[in-house]
Chains A and B, each alone.
Chain A
Amino acid sequence: MKQSSDILLSLKNISKSYNCADSDLSVLNNFSLKIDRGEFVSILGPSGCGKSTLLKICSSMIQQESGTVKISGQIVNSPDKSRVLMLQDDNQLFPWLTVEKNIAFPTNSFDSIRRESDLPNLLEMAGLSNYSDYYPHQLSGGMKKRTALARALAGDPEILLMDEPFGSLDPKIKIKLQDFLLEIWGKYGMTVLFVTHDINEAIRLGQRIIIMSDSGDIVCDEKKSLSEKSTLYEDVFFKLYRKYYSLLTGIGHQ
Protein backbone atom coordinates (compact mmCIF):
# COMPACT_ATOMS: atom_id res chain seq x y z
CA MET A 1 0.00 0.00 0.00
CA LYS A 2 1.12 3.50 -0.88
CA GLN A 3 1.87 5.97 1.84
CA SER A 4 -0.55 8.89 1.79
CA SER A 5 2.37 11.29 1.41
CA ASP A 6 2.91 9.90 -2.09
CA ILE A 7 -0.51 11.05 -3.21
CA LEU A 8 -0.34 14.28 -5.16
CA LEU A 9 -3.88 14.65 -6.43
CA SER A 10 -6.93 13.28 -4.75
CA LEU A 11 -10.52 13.61 -5.89
CA LYS A 12 -13.17 12.58 -3.44
CA ASN A 13 -16.86 12.02 -4.19
CA ILE A 14 -16.91 14.55 -7.00
CA SER A 15 -20.26 15.24 -8.62
CA LYS A 16 -20.80 17.56 -11.51
CA SER A 17 -23.76 18.23 -13.78
CA TYR A 18 -24.51 20.80 -16.43
CA ASN A 19 -27.73 22.71 -16.98
CA CYS A 20 -28.85 21.86 -20.48
CA ALA A 21 -32.11 23.34 -21.72
CA ASP A 22 -34.56 22.37 -18.98
CA SER A 23 -32.91 19.28 -17.59
CA ASP A 24 -29.73 18.71 -15.65
CA LEU A 25 -27.13 16.53 -17.32
CA SER A 26 -25.21 14.61 -14.70
CA VAL A 27 -21.64 14.00 -15.88
CA LEU A 28 -19.66 12.86 -12.86
CA ASN A 29 -21.28 11.07 -9.96
CA ASN A 30 -19.44 10.46 -6.70
CA PHE A 31 -16.23 10.22 -8.65
CA SER A 32 -13.10 9.44 -6.63
CA LEU A 33 -9.52 9.09 -7.79
CA LYS A 34 -6.04 9.23 -6.31
CA ILE A 35 -2.94 10.01 -8.34
CA ASP A 36 0.58 9.53 -7.02
CA ARG A 37 3.29 12.09 -7.46
CA GLY A 38 5.20 11.48 -10.68
CA GLU A 39 2.68 9.07 -12.18
CA PHE A 40 1.83 9.09 -15.86
CA VAL A 41 -1.85 8.22 -16.09
CA SER A 42 -3.73 7.64 -19.34
CA ILE A 43 -7.46 8.17 -19.24
CA LEU A 44 -9.58 6.51 -21.91
CA GLY A 45 -13.29 6.92 -22.35
CA PRO A 46 -16.02 7.31 -24.93
CA SER A 47 -16.84 10.76 -26.24
CA GLY A 48 -19.01 12.73 -23.83
CA CYS A 49 -18.27 10.59 -20.78
CA GLY A 50 -16.81 13.54 -18.90
CA LYS A 51 -13.05 13.39 -19.49
CA SER A 52 -12.71 17.08 -20.26
CA THR A 53 -14.97 17.91 -17.35
CA LEU A 54 -12.73 15.82 -15.09
CA LEU A 55 -9.60 17.70 -16.15
CA LYS A 56 -11.31 21.06 -15.76
CA ILE A 57 -12.28 20.11 -12.21
CA CYS A 58 -8.75 18.87 -11.48
CA SER A 59 -7.44 22.27 -12.56
CA SER A 60 -10.27 24.13 -10.76
CA MET A 61 -11.30 25.80 -14.02
CA ILE A 62 -14.84 24.76 -13.20
CA GLN A 63 -16.36 23.96 -9.82
CA GLN A 64 -17.84 20.63 -8.81
CA GLU A 65 -21.24 20.56 -7.07
CA SER A 66 -19.96 18.35 -4.31
CA GLY A 67 -16.80 16.56 -3.28
CA THR A 68 -13.27 17.83 -2.84
CA VAL A 69 -10.12 18.22 -4.90
CA LYS A 70 -6.92 18.02 -2.88
CA ILE A 71 -3.34 18.67 -3.89
CA SER A 72 -0.80 17.21 -1.46
CA GLY A 73 -3.61 16.96 1.06
CA GLN A 74 -4.72 20.58 0.73
CA ILE A 75 -8.17 21.41 -0.62
CA VAL A 76 -7.95 23.58 -3.74
CA ASN A 77 -10.73 25.72 -5.21
CA SER A 78 -9.16 28.04 -7.76
CA PRO A 79 -6.72 27.53 -10.62
CA ASP A 80 -3.04 27.83 -9.95
CA LYS A 81 0.17 27.42 -11.87
CA SER A 82 1.08 24.09 -10.27
CA ARG A 83 -1.79 22.42 -12.17
CA VAL A 84 -1.52 23.28 -15.83
CA LEU A 85 -4.45 22.47 -18.06
CA MET A 86 -3.64 21.86 -21.72
CA LEU A 87 -6.83 22.19 -23.66
CA GLN A 88 -7.93 20.08 -26.54
CA ASP A 89 -8.28 23.30 -28.52
CA ASP A 90 -5.84 23.73 -31.36
CA ASN A 91 -5.68 27.45 -30.83
CA GLN A 92 -4.48 27.83 -27.30
CA LEU A 93 -1.33 29.69 -28.26
CA PHE A 94 -1.55 33.48 -28.22
CA PRO A 95 -1.42 34.55 -31.87
CA TRP A 96 0.08 37.92 -30.94
CA LEU A 97 3.14 36.40 -29.27
CA THR A 98 6.07 34.72 -30.99
CA VAL A 99 6.91 31.09 -30.21
CA GLU A 100 9.51 32.21 -27.69
CA LYS A 101 7.21 34.72 -26.00
CA ASN A 102 4.40 32.19 -25.87
CA ILE A 103 6.69 29.73 -24.13
CA ALA A 104 7.92 32.45 -21.79
CA PHE A 105 4.36 33.48 -20.91
CA PRO A 106 4.15 31.48 -17.66
CA THR A 107 7.51 32.73 -16.43
CA ASN A 108 6.47 36.31 -17.15
CA SER A 109 3.29 35.86 -15.24
CA PHE A 110 4.70 35.23 -11.81
CA ASP A 111 7.86 35.99 -9.94
CA SER A 112 9.27 32.66 -8.87
CA ILE A 113 11.01 32.06 -12.15
CA ARG A 114 12.61 28.70 -11.80
CA ARG A 115 12.56 27.74 -15.39
CA GLU A 116 13.43 31.00 -17.06
CA SER A 117 17.02 29.97 -17.54
CA ASP A 118 15.57 26.85 -19.10
CA LEU A 119 13.88 28.74 -21.91
CA PRO A 120 16.60 28.09 -24.49
CA ASN A 121 16.60 24.45 -23.40
CA LEU A 122 12.87 24.22 -23.74
CA LEU A 123 13.03 25.74 -27.21
CA GLU A 124 15.74 23.33 -28.21
CA MET A 125 14.11 20.30 -26.66
CA ALA A 126 10.90 21.14 -28.51
CA GLY A 127 12.93 21.49 -31.70
CA LEU A 128 11.87 25.10 -32.03
CA SER A 129 15.20 26.91 -31.70
CA ASN A 130 15.04 28.05 -35.30
CA TYR A 131 11.45 29.14 -34.99
CA SER A 132 11.59 31.25 -31.86
CA ASP A 133 10.58 34.38 -33.78
CA TYR A 134 7.72 32.76 -35.65
CA TYR A 135 4.13 33.55 -34.86
CA PRO A 136 1.78 30.62 -34.17
CA HIS A 137 -0.11 31.01 -37.45
CA GLN A 138 3.16 30.32 -39.28
CA LEU A 139 3.64 26.95 -37.58
CA SER A 140 2.54 23.45 -38.55
CA GLY A 141 0.11 21.58 -36.32
CA GLY A 142 2.88 19.53 -34.72
CA MET A 143 4.99 22.60 -34.02
CA LYS A 144 2.02 24.29 -32.41
CA LYS A 145 1.55 21.32 -30.10
CA ARG A 146 5.23 21.32 -29.14
CA THR A 147 5.06 25.03 -28.44
CA ALA A 148 2.00 24.54 -26.25
CA LEU A 149 3.74 21.68 -24.46
CA ALA A 150 6.89 23.73 -23.92
CA ARG A 151 4.79 26.57 -22.57
CA ALA A 152 3.02 24.23 -20.19
CA LEU A 153 6.41 23.04 -18.94
CA ALA A 154 7.89 26.52 -18.61
CA GLY A 155 5.88 27.24 -15.50
CA ASP A 156 7.31 24.13 -13.83
CA PRO A 157 3.95 22.53 -13.01
CA GLU A 158 3.56 19.71 -10.55
CA ILE A 159 0.84 18.21 -12.64
CA LEU A 160 0.07 18.40 -16.35
CA LEU A 161 -3.54 17.87 -17.32
CA MET A 162 -3.60 17.09 -21.02
CA ASP A 163 -6.87 16.85 -22.91
CA GLU A 164 -6.48 14.80 -26.12
CA PRO A 165 -3.47 16.91 -27.00
CA PHE A 166 -2.37 14.97 -30.08
CA GLY A 167 -5.84 14.17 -31.39
CA SER A 168 -5.75 15.98 -34.69
CA LEU A 169 -2.26 15.00 -35.83
CA ASP A 170 -1.10 12.41 -38.34
CA PRO A 171 0.33 9.17 -36.89
CA LYS A 172 3.98 9.89 -37.61
CA ILE A 173 3.99 13.27 -35.90
CA LYS A 174 1.87 11.83 -33.13
CA ILE A 175 4.51 9.17 -32.34
CA LYS A 176 7.22 11.82 -32.34
CA LEU A 177 5.27 13.98 -29.94
CA GLN A 178 4.55 11.01 -27.68
CA ASP A 179 8.27 10.29 -27.54
CA PHE A 180 8.93 13.94 -26.83
CA LEU A 181 6.40 13.89 -24.00
CA LEU A 182 7.89 10.70 -22.52
CA GLU A 183 11.34 12.23 -22.74
CA ILE A 184 10.39 15.36 -20.83
CA TRP A 185 8.40 13.32 -18.33
CA GLY A 186 11.56 11.28 -17.75
CA LYS A 187 13.54 14.47 -17.35
CA TYR A 188 11.23 16.60 -15.22
CA GLY A 189 9.26 13.87 -13.49
CA MET A 190 6.04 15.84 -13.30
CA THR A 191 2.72 14.06 -12.84
CA VAL A 192 0.70 13.64 -16.02
CA LEU A 193 -3.00 13.02 -16.55
CA PHE A 194 -3.33 12.26 -20.22
CA VAL A 195 -6.80 12.05 -21.73
CA THR A 196 -7.11 10.36 -25.08
CA HIS A 197 -9.55 8.26 -27.07
CA ASP A 198 -6.69 6.48 -28.80
CA ILE A 199 -6.08 3.12 -27.11
CA ASN A 200 -2.61 2.75 -28.65
CA GLU A 201 -1.63 6.11 -27.32
CA ALA A 202 -2.98 5.36 -23.87
CA ILE A 203 -1.00 2.10 -23.65
CA ARG A 204 2.13 3.58 -25.14
CA LEU A 205 2.26 6.50 -22.73
CA GLY A 206 0.60 5.56 -19.48
CA GLN A 207 2.12 3.73 -16.55
CA ARG A 208 -1.40 3.43 -15.33
CA ILE A 209 -4.52 3.24 -17.41
CA ILE A 210 -7.97 4.37 -16.39
CA ILE A 211 -11.05 3.64 -18.46
CA MET A 212 -14.26 5.56 -17.98
CA SER A 213 -17.70 4.33 -19.00
CA ASP A 214 -20.39 6.32 -20.77
CA SER A 215 -21.82 7.29 -17.41
CA GLY A 216 -18.49 8.69 -16.22
CA ASP A 217 -17.60 5.87 -13.82
CA ILE A 218 -14.23 4.19 -13.68
CA VAL A 219 -14.53 0.69 -15.11
CA CYS A 220 -10.84 -0.15 -15.19
CA ASP A 221 -7.89 1.27 -13.30
CA GLU A 222 -4.65 -0.67 -13.48
CA LYS A 223 -0.92 -0.36 -13.73
CA LYS A 224 0.32 -1.17 -17.19
CA SER A 225 1.65 -4.70 -17.22
CA LEU A 226 4.18 -4.06 -19.96
CA SER A 227 7.88 -3.50 -19.81
CA GLU A 228 9.09 -0.08 -20.91
CA LYS A 229 10.64 -1.67 -23.95
CA SER A 230 7.52 -3.27 -25.33
CA THR A 231 6.59 -2.06 -28.74
CA LEU A 232 3.37 -1.66 -30.58
CA TYR A 233 3.99 -4.95 -32.36
CA GLU A 234 4.29 -7.34 -29.45
CA ASP A 235 1.68 -9.81 -28.36
CA VAL A 236 1.29 -8.42 -24.84
CA PHE A 237 0.50 -5.07 -26.36
CA PHE A 238 -2.28 -6.55 -28.46
CA LYS A 239 -3.70 -8.39 -25.49
CA LEU A 240 -3.99 -5.13 -23.61
CA TYR A 241 -5.37 -3.41 -26.68
CA ARG A 242 -8.10 -6.03 -27.06
CA LYS A 243 -9.00 -5.81 -23.41
CA TYR A 244 -9.35 -2.03 -23.42
CA TYR A 245 -11.13 -2.11 -26.75
CA SER A 246 -13.80 -4.43 -25.42
CA LEU A 247 -14.13 -2.39 -22.24
CA LEU A 248 -14.61 0.77 -24.26
CA THR A 249 -16.95 -0.60 -26.86
CA GLY A 250 -18.53 -3.61 -25.24
CA ILE A 251 -17.47 -5.59 -28.30
CA GLY A 252 -15.55 -8.90 -27.80
CA HIS A 253 -14.68 -10.61 -24.56
CA GLN A 254 -11.74 -10.33 -22.24
Chain B
Amino acid sequence: MKYLSNRILNKIFERFMWIGLLVLIWIIAVLLGDFSPLILPSPYKVLQALLKGFTEGILGKQILISIVLVFAGMSIGTLIALAFLFLAVSSRMGDSLVTTLTAVFHPLAGIALLPVVILWFGTGALSIIFIIIHSVVWPMVTNLLMGYRSIPEPYKIVGRNYQLSSFKMFFNITLPGSFPYILAGLKISWARAWRALISAEMIFGAVFGSGGVGWFIFSKRVFMDTPGMFAGIVVVIIIGVLIEDFVFGVIESRTVRRWGMSL
Protein backbone atom coordinates (compact mmCIF):
# COMPACT_ATOMS: atom_id res chain seq x y z
CA MET B 1 0.00 0.00 0.00
CA LYS B 2 2.80 2.38 0.94
CA TYR B 3 4.60 1.60 -2.26
CA LEU B 4 1.45 2.33 -4.22
CA SER B 5 0.74 5.73 -2.69
CA ASN B 6 4.39 6.74 -2.98
CA ARG B 7 4.29 5.93 -6.65
CA ILE B 8 1.22 8.04 -7.18
CA LEU B 9 2.56 10.90 -5.07
CA ASN B 10 5.73 10.84 -7.12
CA LYS B 11 3.74 10.96 -10.27
CA ILE B 12 1.71 13.92 -9.05
CA PHE B 13 4.87 15.72 -8.04
CA GLU B 14 6.54 15.19 -11.40
CA ARG B 15 3.43 16.23 -13.25
CA PHE B 16 3.22 19.49 -11.28
CA MET B 17 6.90 20.14 -11.78
CA TRP B 18 6.69 19.95 -15.56
CA ILE B 19 3.39 21.82 -15.73
CA GLY B 20 4.89 24.51 -13.49
CA LEU B 21 7.81 24.80 -15.88
CA LEU B 22 5.48 25.19 -18.86
CA VAL B 23 3.52 27.92 -17.08
CA LEU B 24 6.80 29.64 -16.25
CA ILE B 25 7.80 29.63 -19.92
CA TRP B 26 4.36 30.96 -20.74
CA ILE B 27 4.78 33.82 -18.24
CA ILE B 28 8.22 34.67 -19.58
CA ALA B 29 6.89 34.67 -23.13
CA VAL B 30 4.08 37.04 -22.14
CA LEU B 31 6.48 39.33 -20.27
CA LEU B 32 9.24 39.43 -22.86
CA GLY B 33 7.33 39.04 -26.10
CA ASP B 34 5.13 42.00 -26.78
CA PHE B 35 2.05 39.94 -27.69
CA SER B 36 -1.41 41.40 -27.93
CA PRO B 37 -3.58 39.87 -25.15
CA LEU B 38 -5.89 38.80 -27.95
CA ILE B 39 -3.15 36.51 -29.25
CA LEU B 40 -1.50 35.29 -26.03
CA PRO B 41 -3.11 36.24 -22.72
CA SER B 42 -1.18 35.86 -19.47
CA PRO B 43 -1.84 32.84 -17.24
CA TYR B 44 -3.34 35.22 -14.70
CA LYS B 45 -5.91 36.47 -17.21
CA VAL B 46 -6.70 32.88 -18.15
CA LEU B 47 -7.18 31.96 -14.51
CA GLN B 48 -9.52 34.90 -14.11
CA ALA B 49 -11.47 33.81 -17.17
CA LEU B 50 -11.63 30.31 -15.76
CA LEU B 51 -13.09 31.51 -12.46
CA LYS B 52 -15.46 33.77 -14.33
CA GLY B 53 -16.55 30.77 -16.36
CA PHE B 54 -17.62 29.07 -13.15
CA THR B 55 -19.06 32.05 -11.29
CA GLU B 56 -20.72 34.08 -14.04
CA GLY B 57 -20.98 31.42 -16.70
CA ILE B 58 -22.14 27.84 -16.61
CA LEU B 59 -18.76 26.14 -17.05
CA GLY B 60 -19.52 23.72 -14.19
CA LYS B 61 -22.67 22.56 -15.93
CA GLN B 62 -20.86 22.38 -19.27
CA ILE B 63 -18.13 20.18 -17.76
CA LEU B 64 -20.79 17.93 -16.33
CA ILE B 65 -22.52 17.65 -19.71
CA SER B 66 -19.23 16.77 -21.42
CA ILE B 67 -18.46 14.09 -18.85
CA VAL B 68 -21.94 12.62 -19.02
CA LEU B 69 -21.77 12.53 -22.83
CA VAL B 70 -18.37 10.88 -22.92
CA PHE B 71 -19.37 8.41 -20.23
CA ALA B 72 -22.57 7.49 -22.05
CA GLY B 73 -20.74 7.12 -25.35
CA MET B 74 -17.98 5.00 -23.84
CA SER B 75 -20.41 2.73 -22.00
CA ILE B 76 -22.53 2.10 -25.07
CA GLY B 77 -19.40 1.75 -27.22
CA THR B 78 -17.92 -0.81 -24.84
CA LEU B 79 -21.15 -2.82 -24.79
CA ILE B 80 -21.25 -2.83 -28.59
CA ALA B 81 -17.60 -3.89 -28.64
CA LEU B 82 -18.45 -6.76 -26.26
CA ALA B 83 -21.27 -7.83 -28.57
CA PHE B 84 -18.83 -7.80 -31.49
CA LEU B 85 -16.41 -9.85 -29.39
CA PHE B 86 -19.06 -12.52 -28.78
CA LEU B 87 -19.91 -12.49 -32.48
CA ALA B 88 -16.25 -12.85 -33.44
CA VAL B 89 -15.46 -15.71 -31.07
CA SER B 90 -18.63 -17.67 -31.67
CA SER B 91 -18.18 -18.41 -35.37
CA ARG B 92 -15.67 -18.14 -38.17
CA MET B 93 -18.05 -16.01 -40.26
CA GLY B 94 -18.65 -13.74 -37.29
CA ASP B 95 -14.92 -13.38 -36.89
CA SER B 96 -14.39 -12.42 -40.52
CA LEU B 97 -17.30 -9.97 -40.36
CA VAL B 98 -15.97 -8.22 -37.26
CA THR B 99 -12.41 -8.16 -38.59
CA THR B 100 -13.62 -6.62 -41.84
CA LEU B 101 -15.81 -4.03 -40.11
CA THR B 102 -12.87 -3.04 -37.93
CA ALA B 103 -10.53 -2.78 -40.91
CA VAL B 104 -13.05 -0.59 -42.74
CA PHE B 105 -14.16 1.73 -39.96
CA HIS B 106 -11.19 1.97 -37.62
CA PRO B 107 -9.17 4.28 -39.91
CA LEU B 108 -12.21 6.51 -40.54
CA ALA B 109 -11.90 9.72 -38.51
CA GLY B 110 -15.10 10.61 -36.65
CA ILE B 111 -15.00 14.12 -38.10
CA ALA B 112 -15.28 12.68 -41.60
CA LEU B 113 -18.61 11.17 -40.59
CA LEU B 114 -20.04 14.45 -39.28
CA PRO B 115 -22.03 15.59 -42.31
CA VAL B 116 -23.67 12.18 -42.65
CA VAL B 117 -24.30 11.94 -38.93
CA ILE B 118 -25.99 15.36 -38.99
CA LEU B 119 -28.22 14.14 -41.82
CA TRP B 120 -29.18 11.03 -39.89
CA PHE B 121 -29.41 12.20 -36.30
CA GLY B 122 -29.56 16.01 -36.51
CA THR B 123 -27.32 18.23 -34.44
CA GLY B 124 -28.18 17.06 -30.94
CA ALA B 125 -26.66 14.94 -28.21
CA LEU B 126 -27.49 11.82 -30.19
CA SER B 127 -25.03 12.79 -32.93
CA ILE B 128 -22.30 13.52 -30.39
CA ILE B 129 -22.83 10.16 -28.73
CA PHE B 130 -22.77 8.48 -32.11
CA ILE B 131 -19.39 10.05 -32.90
CA ILE B 132 -18.03 8.96 -29.50
CA ILE B 133 -19.31 5.43 -29.98
CA HIS B 134 -17.61 5.31 -33.36
CA SER B 135 -14.31 6.44 -31.84
CA VAL B 136 -14.59 3.87 -29.01
CA VAL B 137 -15.92 0.72 -30.64
CA TRP B 138 -13.11 -0.13 -33.07
CA PRO B 139 -10.05 0.21 -30.84
CA MET B 140 -12.03 -1.51 -28.10
CA VAL B 141 -12.97 -4.48 -30.32
CA THR B 142 -9.37 -4.81 -31.47
CA ASN B 143 -8.13 -4.93 -27.89
CA LEU B 144 -10.88 -7.22 -26.61
CA LEU B 145 -10.14 -9.70 -29.38
CA MET B 146 -6.41 -9.56 -28.73
CA GLY B 147 -7.07 -10.05 -25.02
CA TYR B 148 -9.39 -12.98 -25.62
CA ARG B 149 -6.87 -14.69 -27.89
CA SER B 150 -3.99 -14.08 -25.53
CA ILE B 151 -5.51 -15.90 -22.56
CA PRO B 152 -3.06 -18.72 -21.84
CA GLU B 153 -4.41 -22.19 -22.52
CA PRO B 154 -3.61 -23.44 -18.97
CA TYR B 155 -6.14 -21.03 -17.43
CA LYS B 156 -8.87 -22.40 -19.64
CA ILE B 157 -7.83 -25.97 -18.89
CA VAL B 158 -8.11 -25.35 -15.14
CA GLY B 159 -11.54 -23.83 -15.72
CA ARG B 160 -12.67 -26.84 -17.72
CA ASN B 161 -11.21 -29.21 -15.15
CA TYR B 162 -13.51 -27.74 -12.51
CA GLN B 163 -16.46 -27.74 -14.89
CA LEU B 164 -17.10 -24.01 -14.73
CA SER B 165 -20.33 -22.84 -16.37
CA SER B 166 -19.89 -20.49 -19.34
CA PHE B 167 -20.95 -17.69 -17.03
CA LYS B 168 -18.28 -18.49 -14.45
CA MET B 169 -15.75 -19.16 -17.18
CA PHE B 170 -16.37 -15.67 -18.52
CA PHE B 171 -16.24 -13.82 -15.21
CA ASN B 172 -13.60 -15.89 -13.43
CA ILE B 173 -11.22 -16.56 -16.27
CA THR B 174 -11.87 -14.73 -19.54
CA LEU B 175 -12.37 -11.32 -17.98
CA PRO B 176 -9.43 -11.24 -15.55
CA GLY B 177 -7.27 -13.20 -17.99
CA SER B 178 -7.65 -10.55 -20.67
CA PHE B 179 -7.79 -7.58 -18.31
CA PRO B 180 -4.47 -6.02 -19.43
CA TYR B 181 -5.89 -5.74 -22.93
CA ILE B 182 -9.28 -4.55 -21.70
CA LEU B 183 -7.57 -1.80 -19.74
CA ALA B 184 -5.40 -0.82 -22.70
CA GLY B 185 -8.54 -0.71 -24.84
CA LEU B 186 -10.31 1.51 -22.31
CA LYS B 187 -7.36 3.90 -22.17
CA ILE B 188 -7.13 4.26 -25.94
CA SER B 189 -10.90 4.56 -26.18
CA TRP B 190 -11.00 7.22 -23.51
CA ALA B 191 -8.36 9.32 -25.25
CA ARG B 192 -10.16 9.07 -28.58
CA ALA B 193 -13.59 9.65 -27.09
CA TRP B 194 -12.49 12.77 -25.26
CA ARG B 195 -10.99 14.26 -28.41
CA ALA B 196 -13.98 13.32 -30.53
CA LEU B 197 -16.31 14.79 -27.94
CA ILE B 198 -14.61 18.19 -27.83
CA SER B 199 -14.53 18.47 -31.63
CA ALA B 200 -18.12 17.37 -31.99
CA GLU B 201 -19.32 19.75 -29.30
CA MET B 202 -17.77 22.68 -31.13
CA ILE B 203 -19.70 21.83 -34.23
CA PHE B 204 -23.01 20.79 -32.72
CA GLY B 205 -23.25 23.75 -30.37
CA ALA B 206 -25.48 24.06 -27.39
CA VAL B 207 -26.73 20.55 -26.74
CA PHE B 208 -28.91 20.36 -23.62
CA GLY B 209 -29.23 24.15 -23.78
CA SER B 210 -25.74 24.95 -22.59
CA GLY B 211 -23.43 22.68 -24.55
CA GLY B 212 -20.26 21.13 -23.16
CA VAL B 213 -16.68 22.29 -22.73
CA GLY B 214 -16.12 22.21 -26.49
CA TRP B 215 -18.98 24.63 -26.95
CA PHE B 216 -17.59 26.81 -24.15
CA ILE B 217 -14.34 27.21 -26.11
CA PHE B 218 -16.10 27.79 -29.38
CA SER B 219 -18.52 30.37 -28.05
CA LYS B 220 -15.59 32.34 -26.59
CA ARG B 221 -14.17 32.61 -30.07
CA VAL B 222 -17.30 34.34 -31.26
CA PHE B 223 -16.68 37.14 -28.75
CA MET B 224 -12.91 37.12 -29.31
CA ASP B 225 -12.51 36.24 -25.62
CA THR B 226 -9.01 34.77 -25.91
CA PRO B 227 -8.49 34.20 -22.15
CA GLY B 228 -11.82 32.36 -22.17
CA MET B 229 -10.67 30.12 -25.03
CA PHE B 230 -7.48 29.35 -23.13
CA ALA B 231 -9.49 28.65 -19.99
CA GLY B 232 -11.55 26.12 -21.95
CA ILE B 233 -8.40 24.47 -23.27
CA VAL B 234 -7.01 24.29 -19.74
CA VAL B 235 -10.18 22.55 -18.58
CA VAL B 236 -9.93 20.03 -21.42
CA ILE B 237 -6.31 19.31 -20.50
CA ILE B 238 -6.97 19.02 -16.76
CA ILE B 239 -9.81 16.56 -17.22
CA GLY B 240 -7.74 14.56 -19.70
CA VAL B 241 -4.78 14.31 -17.33
CA LEU B 242 -6.94 13.56 -14.29
CA ILE B 243 -8.66 10.64 -15.96
CA GLU B 244 -5.49 9.31 -17.55
CA ASP B 245 -3.24 9.58 -14.51
CA PHE B 246 -5.53 9.07 -11.64
CA VAL B 247 -8.56 7.08 -12.73
CA PHE B 248 -6.60 4.77 -15.03
CA GLY B 249 -3.43 5.02 -12.96
CA VAL B 250 -5.25 3.80 -9.86
CA ILE B 251 -7.07 1.02 -11.71
CA GLU B 252 -3.78 -0.09 -13.20
CA SER B 253 -1.90 -0.22 -9.91
CA ARG B 254 -4.75 -2.07 -8.22
CA THR B 255 -5.05 -4.67 -10.98
CA VAL B 256 -2.54 -5.51 -13.67
CA ARG B 257 0.44 -4.06 -11.80
CA ARG B 258 -0.44 -5.84 -8.59
CA TRP B 259 -0.96 -9.07 -10.53
CA GLY B 260 2.28 -8.73 -12.49
CA MET B 261 0.24 -8.76 -15.69
CA SER B 262 1.25 -5.44 -17.25
CA LEU B 263 1.50 -5.60 -21.02
- Chain A residues proximal to chain B, CB less than 8 Å: 59, 61, 79-81, 83-85, 87, 89, 91-92, 94-96, 105-106, 109-110, 135-138, 155
Contact = CB atoms under 8 A, between A and B. Distances in A.
A59 B162 CA distance: 11
A79 B161 contact: yes
A138 B3 CA distance: 15
Given A80-B163, A109-B163, A110-B163, A92 B261 contact: no
Contacts of A87: 154, 157
A85 B161 contact: yes
A83 B161 CA distance: 8
A61 to B, nearest CB: 6
Nearest to A84: B161
Interface residues of chain A: helix, strand, loop or mixed (majority): loop
Contact of B260 (A84, A89, A95, A106): A95
With most chain A CB atoms within 10 A of its CB, the pick from B153, B158, B163, B168 is B158
Given A61-B157, A85-B157, A110 B162 contact: yes
A110 B164 CA distance: 8
Contacts of B194: none
B155 interface: yes
With most chain A CB atoms within 10 A of its CB, the pick from B157, B172, B258 is B157
B176 interface: yes
A198 B160 CA distance: 29
A95 B258 CA distance: 9
Nearest to B173: A94
Interface residues of chain B: helix, strand, loop or mixed (majority): helix
Contacts of B160: 61, 79
B260 A137 contact: yes
B130 interface: no
Contacts of B164: 109
Nearest to B175: A96
Contacts of B161: 59, 61, 79-81, 83-85
A81 B158 CA distance: 10
Contacts of A81: 161-163
A79 B176 contact: no
Interface in B70-94: none
With most chain B CB atoms within 10 A of its CB, the pick from A80, A84, A94, A138 is A94
Interface of B: 152-155, 157-158, 160-164, 168, 172-173, 176-177, 179, 255, 258-261
Contact of A109 (B157, B162, B176): B162
A91 B261 CA distance: 12
Given A110-B162, A155-B162, 9 more contacts: A61-B157, A81-B162, A83-B161, A85-B157, A89-B153, A95-B261, A96-B259, A109-B172, A136-B260
A202 to B, nearest CB: 24
A60 to B, nearest CB: 9
B163 A92 contact: no
With most chain A CB atoms within 10 A of its CB, the pick from B154, B173, B261 is B154
Contacts of A94: 155, 158, 173, 176-177
A91 B152 contact: yes
Contacts of A83: 161
Contacts of B163: 79-81, 109-110
Nearest to B160: A79
Contacts of A95: 259-261
Contacts of B255: 96
Nearest to A109: B162
Contacts of A79: 160-161, 163
A101 B168 CA distance: 15
Contacts of A96: 176-177, 179, 255, 259, 261
A110 B173 CA distance: 15
A83 B162 CA distance: 9
Given A80-B163, A81-B161, A106-B162, A135 B258 contact: yes
Contacts of B258: 135
Nearest to B164: A109
A76 to B, nearest CB: 12
25 contacts: A59-B161, A61-B157, A61-B160, A61-B161, A79-B163, A81-B163, A85-B161, A87-B154, A87-B157, A89-B154, A91-B154, A94-B173, A94-B176, A94-B177, A95-B261, A96-B177, A96-B179, A96-B255, A96-B261, A106-B162, A109-B162, A109-B163, A109-B168, A110-B163, A155-B162
A189 B216 CA distance: 74
A30 B249 CA distance: 57
Nearest to B152: A91
